[in-house]
Amino acid sequence: MSQRHHVTKSQVFLGVAIFVSLLGGCCCKVDAGPGELAKESESYYRQALQGYKSEIAKGKDTDQLYFDLGRLYFDHGAFSEAAESFSKSKLPQAKKFLAISYYRLGDFTGALEVFNKFENTDAEYLYYKGLACEKLNLFDPALESYREIKDPSFASLASERIDAITRQAAEQNIGKIDPRIAGIIDNAPKPEAYPQAGVLILACDEKVEVTAENTQISSLHYLIKILNERGKENFSEAKIDYDSTYEKVEVEYARTIKPDGSIAQVGTRHIRDVSKYLNFPLYSNARVRIISFPEIAEGSCIEY
């Protein structure tokens, strides 16, 4: 009996010792300032990154490890590193976060390429796909994506985007959307001043930017007024040549501005991407992005 009582006292003593030790540790954490806690958090983050990389180096279950590493980067806002990790995983959920990472980086064309390649009924996936379409002025596909969303957590957000697109479509007048462009059109020379011309180039803005990564971004913006049938025939389409091995083309927006100021937007059905030399497979990388402008008439303007 006395022996059992002795064991109990020892257990109590041990329990109290552990409790005091844990309590002391908790007190240290509570008393730590925000700066110290932030440093500890950053330290744990770095350790976690290193841990994932060490496990990946072993070559086992890399699809899951690359996905988990990508999520760690993603949750810390390191979207470029996240995209790199997600691209190395074959898991279906990795493709979703890869596309969203591209979107968060502002690479809307890259995001949409992934969205279109991998079908997914996930509400978040569909919502970001719709946002990427909007950024590229592809409003019909954006509406289709939003309307597929049934999950309540994203349904209200999707409904807001549908309403916004619908309102914008109802207010499609250049004077409301872009007063500066409306002013250029209003102040354009009369056709009588250029009797031999088929069109008038009202604005031409071309820029070339060389980035720190030794890549080149060429930005082109044109506003052209159609004067007659000859101009309509020659400028009803815009063609942009590029090499698909090293280049990609992103159409930010394209539209026809009618004489009354109303707008006909260019949608996916008006854009084609074709081989420049169809009968020469060796040159399949030489491609042409063709923009066909809808509802062109004399006095209309095209802008892209």
Q: Is the sign of the CA dihedral 80, 84, 89, 92 positive or negative?
A: positive
Provide the whole-model pTM: 0.58
Q: In the chain, what are the domains?
A: 2-170 (1.25.40.10), 178-303 (2.60.40.3140)
Contacts of 150 (CB under 8 A, 6+ apart): 123
What is the model's pLDDT at position 140?
A: 82
Residues contacting residue 8 through CB under 8 Å, at least 6 positions apart: none
- The per-residue b/e assignment along 183-222, b for 16 or more CB within 10 angstroms, e otherwise, is ebbeeeeebeeeeeebbbebbeeeeeeeeeeeeeeeeeeb
pLDDT of residue 129: 94
Q: How many CB atoms lie within 10 A of CB 121?
A: 10
Dist CA 162 CA 135 (whole Å): 14
Mark the ranges of the chain whose per-residue pLDDT is less than 50.
1-28
b (16+ CB within 10 A) / e for 77-101:
ebbebbbbbbebbeeeebbbbbbbb
CA distance 168 to 21: 64
The arrangement of strands across the sheet holding 237-243 comes to 237-243, 286-292, 271-275
CB-based contacts of 68: which residues, under 8 Å, 6+ apart? 52
In one-letter notation, the amino acid at residue 104 is: R
pLDDT in the model for residue 29: 56
Give the DSSP H or E segment for 179.
Answer: helix 179-186
